[in-house]
Structure 1
Amino acid sequence: MPFLRSRLSDRSGGEIHLVLMLALTFSTGIVDAVGYLGLDKVFAGNMTGNVVILGMAAAGADSLPLAGPSIALAGFLIGALIGGRIVRPVDGGQWSRRIGGVFGLVGLILAGVAAALFVVGSGPAAPQLLPIVALLSTAMGLQAATARHLAVKDITTVVVTSLITGLAADAAVSGTRQPWARRVLALALLTLGALVGALTLRWHPGLGLAISAGLTIIVAGVGTLAWMARRSAPADAD
């Protein structure tokens, strides 16, 4: 542990935050794949998708669900509201125990939902489905609000439309420098996460969420450990 803290203290907070938010972007891809393919066409993190599904469902298109996306939207808003209030005292762009605590809570919620899915089986019935959707979307709202407060450029962990727009628009302007690597990597990781999430459904929907839970808890732990290491570095030097 001292060796790990020493290595983390050598890295800037911005570098560590970028890596951790990219990891959560991958995790979000898994969660959304499980939600859409395994939980009756519901996105837990991508609220744009839910709004579009609701619009089509209201027109009676292809028997699309109304309850699931509606509950997901409400859960995401509640999670984002709670997350925003929790991290409000923290300076923007800075890690803290509160930031780590929220991400840790997200991981625990995902772990709890994964465990519940293993208990109820691979095909939860409608009455069991909606509480699961509510918990997943609330967790993603917590994550999104906290990631927004951490303010890693271009990496929100849940939204890629603005990222793609920036990637294309900046490329059209000669002489414009843009963070190509992080933008492309974020897109790739979200896609890879969706692929992994879809593949885990061949075994059980709880498996993908368990992977996301473990990854999110690791992010919370590493981020907090790095923050503590940077805080203690000047004292150690004295």
Structure 2
Amino acid sequence: MTRRLDLAMLLVLTFSTGMVDAIGYLGFDKVFTGNMTGNVVILGMGLAGAEDTPVLRPALALVFFMVGAALGGRILGRIGEEWHTRTTTIFAGVAIGCAGLAVYVALMPEPEVGLAGTFFTSVLSALMGAQAAAARRMKIADVTTVVVTSTIVGLASDSRLAGGDSVRWIRRALAVFLILIGAVAGAATLMINQWIGIAVVALAIAVVAVIGHLAARKRALAEAAEASVHA
């Protein structure tokens, strides 16, 4: 049951990644803040001199994502795959950071222009890096929350059409579907106002942090009660 709950929470985070990537790419000069593969490709094209292809923001997004992931790894330390207080700390911090960015975008006259836009994409990338580090530590197969290419490969290569047994096809299909729907939602919020999508992302991550923390606390109390019975 615990692993199913972890899977559900990571799928919610996958949806939020679709949102932030759509917002970054469409609203902030073609920058992916969650999917670093996209940034590496864009950066390569920009360095080759492709017209209207940015270099600075994708490069900074890549650097800050790595910084966020490194910081997340440092906070997590040597904890196992089960939800820990440190996991709550990271997800809560990411949610608060996204909420702060939503306020920043709402108050800034032109948040996508110049230094303001670069600041936004860099900070959001750092937050997504920390989130990805925490999600990776939970070790749910096929759900990394930030990329679905390997998930799609597994979905196709292990399918019955390919002679496989379609193992974990439901979670794989859901991961692909949710990042797609997240991108649709992120693009839709841009038609209203840029801050709305980031606020939705902050809310989604906050919900995951609360649910995960409460579930871990419940599990710890149950284990303590069982231990006292056998003592």
Range class of TM-score, shorter chain: over 0.9
* Correspondence for 2:18: 29
Shift of 1:77: 0.5
> How far apart in 1 are the matches of 2:154 and 2:83?
26
Could you state the TM-score of these two structures normalised by the residue count of structure 1? 0.91
Q: Which runs of 5+ in 2 are unaligned?
A: none
Q: 1:122 and 1:201, CA in 2 relative to 1: closer, same or farther beyond 3 A?
A: farther
> How far apart in 1 are the matches of 2:31 and 2:96?
21
Q: 1:58 and 1:175, CA in 2 relative to 1: closer, same or farther beyond 3 A?
A: closer
Shift of 1:174: 2.4
Matching residue's letter, 2:154: G
Kept in 1: contact 2:111–2:117 (CA 8 A): no
> How far apart in 2 are the matches of 1:78 and 1:175?
39
Question: SS of 2:144's equivalent?
Answer: coil
Q: 1:175 and 1:63, CA in 2 relative to 1: closer, same or farther beyond 3 A?
A: closer
Could you state the TM-score of these two structures normalised by the residue count of structure 2? 0.94
* Mapping for residues 111-190 of structure 1, pairs under 5 Å: 111-121=99-109, 123-171=111-159, 173-190=162-179
Kept in 2: contact 1:35–1:133 (CA 8 A): yes
Shift of 1:173: 4.5
Shift of 1:126: 0.6
* Correspondence for 2:8: 19
Question: SS of 1:139's equivalent?
Answer: helix
* Mapping for residues 1-238 of structure 1, pairs under 5 Å: 12-91=1-80, 93-121=81-109, 123-171=111-159, 173-236=162-225, 238=229
Kept in 1: contact 2:7–2:140 (CA 8 A): yes
Q: 1:152 and 1:80, CA in 2 relative to 1: closer, same or farther beyond 3 A?
A: same
Shift of 1:82: 0.6
Q: Which runs of 5+ in 1 are unaligned?
A: 1-11
Shift of 1:233: 1.9
Kept in 1: contact 2:33–2:124 (CA 8 A): yes
> How far apart in 2 are the matches of 1:42 and 1:164?
23
Moved more, 125-134 or 37-46: 125-134
